[in-house]
């Protein structure tokens, strides 16, 4: 299985992002990804019609993660595509081989190596253990001004927890993704009944709903009283609408 991966827009749009050799070598991981996709979306057809672009993105998202598609990848060659949004926390070296358009792009690429690998607290300092990344290349000369030389430290012992398979598969707990709730009333045979009590009565008074009549009057002229039982249209508006048809 190859340890180096090339990622660029042309590679994604070509339709041949992954070679047949890679598909054959990563058959187990591809099947695992299909099962995860079905469990996540419930769409079995989407899992059966995986294209190379989707698989390549999954390889990029799982770089350095053992047992997944990108677990064996050790070197990623990117053509202006890993500036932001890629969270592989196993990146320890970055090499720039060409200039960038802006310094912001340089800083975004450097940020790919700033994801922490461990969040364990050091018992002696009470802080996170320091982690470092080596950055090479002329485009990243701005980072040399803030580089700190420190003594390398031994990595802490890591305890890996794995499920016992298949002896304890019967004890697996699955948490479904809830999309909504509904009340099953038993179909057409169910009959709903209502029980009204004193708490079911809503008494409405003019104080609650406001005035029920409005009297319009000017200093001189006629007076008009509008009540709830009358039409919502005033006489002048009725005359105007009738006049439009003549």
What tens-digit pLDDT sequence spans the chain (246 residues)? 668 777 766 666 665 556 666 667 677 777 777 777 777 777 777 777 777 677 777 777 778 777 777 777 888 887 766 666 677 777 888 888 877 777 787 788 888 788 887 888 888 888 888 888 888 876 676 665 555 666 767 767 777 777 777 888 888 888 887 878 877 776 666 677 788 898 888 887 777 777 777 788 877 778 877 776 656 667 787 788 778 776
Q: Alpha helices, DSSP H only, in the chain? A: 9-13, 20-25, 27-41, 44-48, 52-61, 103-110, 206-209, 235-243
Nearest residue to 11 via CA among 73, 45, 48, 60: 60
| Single pTM value for the model | 0.48
């Amino acid at each position: 299985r190859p340890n180096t991966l090339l990622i660029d827009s042309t590679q994604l749009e070509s339709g041949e992002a992954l070679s047949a050799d890679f598909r054959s070598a990563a058959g187990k991981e591809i099947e695992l990804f299909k099962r995860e996709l079905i469990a996540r979306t419930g769409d079995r057809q989407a899992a059966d019609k995986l294209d190379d672009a989707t698989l390549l993105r999954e390889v990029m998202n799982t770089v350095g993660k053992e047992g997944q598609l990108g677990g064996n990848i050790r070197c990623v060659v990117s053509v202006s595509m890993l500036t932001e949004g890629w969270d592989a926390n196993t990146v320890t070296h970055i090499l720039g081989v060409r200039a960038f358009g802006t310094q912001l792009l340089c800083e975004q690429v450097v940020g790919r190596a700033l994801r922490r690998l461990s969040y364990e607290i050091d018992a002696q300092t009470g802080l996170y253990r320091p982690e470092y990344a080596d950055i090479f290349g002329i485009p990243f000369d701005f980072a040399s001004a803030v580089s700190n030389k420190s003594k390398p430290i031994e990595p802490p012992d890591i305890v890996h927890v794995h499920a016992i398979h298949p002896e304890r598969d019967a004890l697996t707990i699955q948490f479904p993704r809830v999309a909504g709730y509904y009340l099953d009333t038993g179909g057409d045979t169910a009959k709903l009944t209502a029980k009204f009590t004193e708490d079911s009565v809503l008494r409405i008074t003019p104080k609650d709903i406001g005035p029920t009549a409005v009297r319009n009057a000017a200093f001189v002229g006629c007076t008009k009283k509008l009540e709830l039982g009358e039409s919502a249209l005033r006489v002048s508006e009725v005359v105007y609408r009738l006049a439009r048809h003549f």
